[in-house]
Amino acid sequence: MCLAIPMKILKIEGDRAIVSAGRVERRIGINFLSNPRIGDYVMVHAGFAIEKLDPKKAEETLKLLESI
């Protein structure tokens, strides 16, 4: 089973980005996105951002995951 997690872009380094979800930070690929920006929420799967997310929905999902 695979799971994608909403994460927030903290820093962009070429085609890679540092993202966070709660206290977890990861370095991921962002080459599947068009025009990613610091502060964007993205869906992360297998080390890559696969789509941008609505900030409000991403924050709601992160709160739900944290409560589990």
Helix (H, G, I), strand (E, B) or coil at 59: helix
pLDDT at 14: 96
Domain containing 55 equals 5-67
Amino acid at site 8: K
Return the closest-CA partner of residue 43 out of 11, 8, 14.
Answer: 8
pLDDT digits (tens, 9 = 90+) for 46-62: 999 999 999 999 999 99
11 has pLDDT over 80: yes
Between residues 65 and 17, which one has the greater pLDDT?
17
Flag the least confident range among 12-16, 35-39, 64-68: 64-68
Helix (H, G, I), strand (E, B) or coil at 45: strand
pLDDT band at 37 (very low <50, low <70, confident <90, very high): very high
Mean pLDDT rounded to a whole number for the chain: 94
Give the Å distances, CA to CA, from 54 to 39, 57, 60, 61.
11, 5, 10, 11
> What is the domain-level CATH number for residue 10?
2.30.30.140
Return the closest-CA partner of residue 51 out of 27, 32, 35.
Answer: 32
Number of structural domains in the chain: 1
